[in-house]
């Protein structure tokens, strides 16, 4: 069972998450030749103050 784990800053719309799930599942099915039912997708969302890049919190940018 392929498991896709997406980590991102919180704030995307439900529609964006639906589209992401649909597209990623479709491509995993195509590439790995598996049924959609076995593809799992987990979206982990983090507040801007819990994510940094280049030593600076996103909430401070």
Active site residues: 2
- CA dist 4 and 31 (Å) reads 14
**Which region holds residue 3: left if phi is over 0, alpha if psi is between -120 and 50, else beta?**
beta
* CA contacts within 13 A on the Cβ side of 10: 7
């Amino acid at each position: 069972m392929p498991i896709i784990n997406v980590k991102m800053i919180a704030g995307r719309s439900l529609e964006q998450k639906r589209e992401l799930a649909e597209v990623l599942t479709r491509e995993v099915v195509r590439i790995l030749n598996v049924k959609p039912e076995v593809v799992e997708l987990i979206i982990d969302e983090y507040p801007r103050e819990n994510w940094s890049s280049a030593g600076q919190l996103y909430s401070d940018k």
